[in-house]
Structure 1
């Protein structure tokens, strides 16, 4: 969907075709930002056609600012999007202000530091990310669509609709199936715990890309050897993942590394408590002992210890799930995130 550039105040470039967390962020945020009057278009491949966009043929029009403004905002989320913004602003002298959102939690290379130093404003997705930036930043935590991710009105019916046994409780681990995501830690924890908790079933939802199929096959073989093939289910990738969250009683986020990580938010918005490794922004999302538990990254024993009380106590799952839902509604709507980003835009646009 093309939008009149004379009215556009913000450009959200997207220069990778591969689906990623950045892609998901842009797809979810841009419609909300526009509903709030922020006048945003996307630029680049790999995005749905329903998003407002501009084409390469429109680039020359960026020499003229939008109606009523002296500049536009170029909001980059990757190195390959920062550099073109710098060239457009500093070489071609287009009236642009540059914003970069960082999700990285590692020391930046000299090249990335240089790119970041040229930005007019920097947003960090969490405090841990901000700690790696060698300049001032604004911390804006991600939010999610609280209508799409919401509790089941009838959990038994939600389970049955997915072919799950409504008489049993379900613990899930969702996301790409690979070592980095800790899928093996979840499976190993379930192999250890499920024999003592016969009313529970584990669900692994997500796709293993070609590079990681052997890893997934090894996990399935391990499950079969343990005699738990009917209780540790690999259900693959689903576009209706929100329905799968609604069927859960407990969620586990066992990642070994994560930039931010939306799955705990999606689970908590579905009134499901979360056991999470101390990676990414998880410690800033989860209230330890109230909406779930934080455990040691990469430690099977720590995961087992964190999960066990929930398998043993259905009341604990319900209470912490209710706390999780209230926490999400108070602090993590995507509208809150969009409004906070809009304030950064407004500062730059008003200053010109």
Structure 2
């Protein structure tokens, strides 16, 4: 009797987009008959969701940023790898990618998925150190898995020489879908921004743009959905027309209630929020960072794509959409069709499973590959 391959996912973020991707992969891989474990810190939603799916969780008590605890974190992870004896390690985001590659050092097939590059979040010496590590650490990644061609190009331009694989993000179109009449949450048009409240997601840029939006559309309201380290600072500068909804598992309801969904990120690999919003047939405005161009259908790019850190351009795009209901409906319909065609979750998770099959040298019968998952690129 053949034993199914054992996949160990390693993640430091335990909520938000990275946790969502890991949870979706675990669900698909368990359904395909794989054995799956997840090493992550306590707290957040990730460990609970994985256990609910029937996966195994392992406590890896790691901080978000590198620091004096890193050697102990690497030792703990190396011990976990020896204990569970996975066939393949899949490390998600910068911290897990750092620790996992140091712990495994090429002894097992290792997939590193940046979920946006660490050096884009840093400045000065720290940025140079992060680039230096990614260049060096690439030798211990059997594949570096990017969620967009733009993310791969950013790594390549920064001198990271890797065996690349690109699989665009997908969303669960059974959860994120149009749902009849749009819910009304109050008077006036509603703009929604879903994301961790942090510098990366650029909510401060949106708040800088918001007074101009309200001047043009006086009854407009903005809801920031999420929590994070910048929450208190953002609350202090937000006007009364801005609501902080906090973190929620039910982001789909906010997308459906919105007239426009905005994500003003400073950097990304390929953000999930715009894909989720389009799956709910809502128009989006996103900044032109890695993955944004690829995540939008061509018909949306002239209207919905704006420069990063440009409050004026952001305000102009949001205002234009709020003032044109037929255009919003048309863009929402185009976005929905695009997500169904190119970003369905089953396609993305199937492609990851196919990558595992390739790296483990196994046939599709042993690693549940899917024809949904064939669209990807390797370099």
Using structure 1 for the length normalisation, give the TM-score: 0.80
Residues 9 and 38, structure 2, Cα contact 8 Å, conserved in 1: yes
Deviation string 1:185-219 (CA, Å, 9 cap, x unpaired) is: 2223221122332453222222243xx24422332
**Distance in structure 2 (CA, Å) of the matches to 1:275 and 1:17:** 26
Deviations 1:235-283 (A, max 9, x none): 2222222111111121111112234321111111111111111113111
Whether 1:32 and 2:28 are equivalent positions in the alignment is yes
CA 1:17/1:134 → structure 2, altered by over 3 Å: closer, same or farther?
A: closer
1:97 aligns with 2:141: no
Q: Number of matched residues?
A: 316
Is 1:341 the equivalent of 2:368?
no
Within-5 A mapping of 1:1-352: 7-14=3-10, 16=12, 18-19=14-15, 21-46=17-42, 47-48=47-48, 49-50=51-52, 51-53=54-56, 59-60=82-83, 62=85, 72-77=87-92, 78-86=97-105, 89=107, 96-105=108-117, 106=119, 108-131=130-153, 132=155, 133-155=160-182, 158-159=183-184, 164-165=185-186, 168-198=188-218, 200-209=220-229, 212-220=230-238, 223=239, 229=240, 231-290=241-300, 293-350=304-361
CA distance in 2, matches of 1:135, 1:322: 38
Deviation digits for residues 117-164 of structure 1 (CA, Å, limit 9, x no counterpart): 122222112112212132231111111111111112111xx23xxxx1
- Rounded Cα–Cα distance in structure 1 between residues aligned with 2:17 and 2:337: 25
Retained in 1: the 8 A contact 2:167–2:351?
yes
Give the gaps of 5 or more residues in structure 2. Answer: 59-78, 120-127, 364-379
Matched position secondary structure for 2:252: helix
CA contact (8 A) 1:178 1:216 kept: no
* Secondary structure in structure 2 of the residue aligned to 1:7: coil
1:98–1:205 distance in 2 versus 1, CA, 3 Å: closer
Counterpart position of 1:92: none
Equivalents in 2 of 1:266, 1:183: separation in Å? 18
Q: List gaps (5 residues or longer) in structure 1.
A: 1-5, 66-71, 90-95, 224-228
**Higher radius of gyration, 1 or 2:** 1
